[in-house]
Structure 1
């Protein structure tokens, strides 16, 4: 078996490169990782969260191997792995979770207490998330494999739907989680802030949950057109005009039942000021546009440190929010990483039984590993695509 390996490496603001990296070992520091597996990566996706690092908006160090959205084939198992075997095709939750701590036992796998010495929660290839090697690679090691991995019941069937199933590692559960925590249900009216891949996944999720009307707002027409392609209403946020007035035109009411923030800390002001960064603008819009007693799901990323922020407060993650309005309207806010394992099996079933076409909704674009730097550049330019890397040509074949 080949022990060569290559991966996408962050070099500095605006620069990634595909380089030779170490082949993974079943090891955690100086000890054997008997509960882990090594995967041959079948698909690995470029995420908007990766883009924050590549833009230089975090404290990510040069040399970080990127990638937390992974689907792969098991090629080697540690001694203590009982329920997986070489040849199994699996989805990897982007959350790394031990399965043993208080958080994991309560289903809060996004804030595992044992996999990151700095804070609760860990992820592959991400700044301050435990130092785990990322999966935009040819091979990667996954710990606590029996607990973490979702095995597809039929590998051939899974490969037929791999463009959809690859989205189970992050953005489909994340978008779904945003809607669930916003209280979306049958007959709901929903506003989705942001038409990037997570926003589009949230819009599909809202429909899957039975929403009556899903409105998606963004500043890029190509992305809004993608949202309209599967039945969403849209708002072009580069246009002037009060948002409540514009929502009233669609709904006959000025507020929605549920609001999902899929933008996060790099938000920009709407209307004539849309080129100006305003990190709290989506959160403030959420409180203005959500009905009294409504819920606000916030899967969009907010950081504790943003060295590229426009003001000193935002550099420390401190935002100017009109929180009193949310209090007065009895809003519920739900933040944080999606606990992927809570959702990935039922969403897999929805895909396998043809209830949702998530790859079409987010416009999956397959690329090779060597095309990853261009994928990052195109994504940063606002392309209405979800770039999925096929490092071994498995999907192409």
Structure 2
């Protein structure tokens, strides 16, 4: 089959690889009809390169049709249309029962000291072949696979695999409730959906921060008060101005380590990821830093006693944090990988029968054949051609 594989820092390619097969009773093989490019994939393209090996299959957002199942899989059968949550969880361990599927004790990558295994996301998370391919083997399919209720277009349900549960969890973690003021730092796909989730939960005002015109325009058209980083020098002051001088009740950092605004950190990260892999891994794990402009903006934009929710991925081990400010403001900080399976049933119900409270049906800006994935990575990273969300068709 064809799959998108990692080659080296800044280079991916379509290759012929072996077809996946059922290996365990809880496995399934899914023929993918849609898969997506996520902002987290850009970390693999650059920063996390030392943790990849040539030929690794990328991608963790997938929807398709079941082709085969193991003997222990009973809730889906060949021919069923399913969404594949990006984290691999068993559903029975203590963490899964507590709604922390991203920390699943059955699939935890203990050798690396990390949480649950993820599709297509480095040796740190199990080096599990990903979803930017024609087919994928799904471990723990007996729990993980989400059977779809109707025949809506793929993209109506595709984002249940990652970015919609990620956005929903981020807003839940931010404590948004009716009448709250929410600020979303970063209006990429997760940020767009986080703004919509905050609106759905009854936020009195939703503020969105970004620097890409197309992202700002889409959010504004959906009723978000937007702040253009290109035009505003002090984003936190602008947020305070929009909230009676108080700051937002809950702020979501939907950017993570790819933030703009710190050229020194960018240079250090680039240099580290360009080292030979063993040296790069050692440097990252001991001295690694992130570009923290988005997170520091989130902290400064939050009201006293408010909550900062971090959904953007960070990987630094020596990040400087404004602890005096955080302590003095009595902030609550919540973060982590989305516990996808915790939220999918609820979100699936909200999308059933064609309902679209989150704007999923017009989020995608590009649908491309899988063969064009290498060019799409570059386009998405450079924010070219009005790109907000890319979906690949593995059948073409």
TM-score if structure 1 supplies the norm length?
A: 0.87
Per-residue deviation at 1:46? 0.5
| Cα displacement string for residues 159-218 of structure 1 (whole angstroms, at most 9, x for unaligned residues) | x33212101100011011111000011111111011111111111111111111111111
Which of the numbers 131, 155, 177 marks the counterpart of 1:163?
155
Distance in 2 (CA, whole Å) between partners of 1:275 and 1:21 is 34
2:94 counterpart of 1:102: yes
2:42 counterpart of 1:51: yes
Which of the numbers 15, 20, 28 marks the counterpart of 1:37?
28
**1:226–1:384 CA contact under 8 A, matched in 2:** no
| Cα displacement string for residues 323-359 of structure 1 (whole angstroms, at most 9, x for unaligned residues) | 2211222211111100001111221222224142533
Distance in 1 (CA, whole Å) between partners of 2:159 and 2:233 is 35
**1:163–1:364 CA contact under 8 A, matched in 2:** no
- State the match for 1:312 in structure 2: none
Per-residue deviation at 1:106? 1.4
**2:183–2:248 CA contact under 8 A, matched in 1:** yes
- The structure where helix makes up a greater share of residues is 2
Runs of 4+ residues over 6 Å off in structure 1: 272-278
Distance in 2 (CA, whole Å) between partners of 1:275 and 1:80 is 47
**1:172–1:358 CA contact under 8 A, matched in 2:** no
Per-residue deviation at 1:385? 2.1
Distance in 2 (CA, whole Å) between partners of 1:14 and 1:185 is 41
**1:238–1:274 CA contact under 8 A, matched in 2:** no
**1:36–1:141 CA contact under 8 A, matched in 2:** yes
Residue 218 to residue 257, structure 1, CA distance change in 2 (3 Å): same
Residue 374 to residue 34, structure 1, CA distance change in 2 (3 Å): same
- State the match for 2:6 in structure 1: 10
Name structure 1 gaps, 5 residues minimum.
Answer: 28-32, 305-316
SS in 2 for 1:191: strand
- State the match for 1:21 in structure 2: 17
**2:183–2:206 CA contact under 8 A, matched in 1:** yes
Distance in 2 (CA, whole Å) between partners of 1:224 and 1:331 is 27
- State the match for 2:308 in structure 1: 296
Q: Indicate the RMSD between aligned Cα atoms, in angstroms.
A: 2.1
Between the two proteins, the alignment pairs up a number of residues equal to 367
Q: Which moved more, 1:129-138 or 1:222-231?
A: 222-231
- State the match for 2:169 in structure 1: 177
Residue 302 to residue 58, structure 1, CA distance change in 2 (3 Å): farther
Name structure 2 gaps, 5 residues minimum.
Answer: 270-289
**2:9–2:49 CA contact under 8 A, matched in 1:** no
Distance in 1 (CA, whole Å) between partners of 2:344 and 2:323 is 33
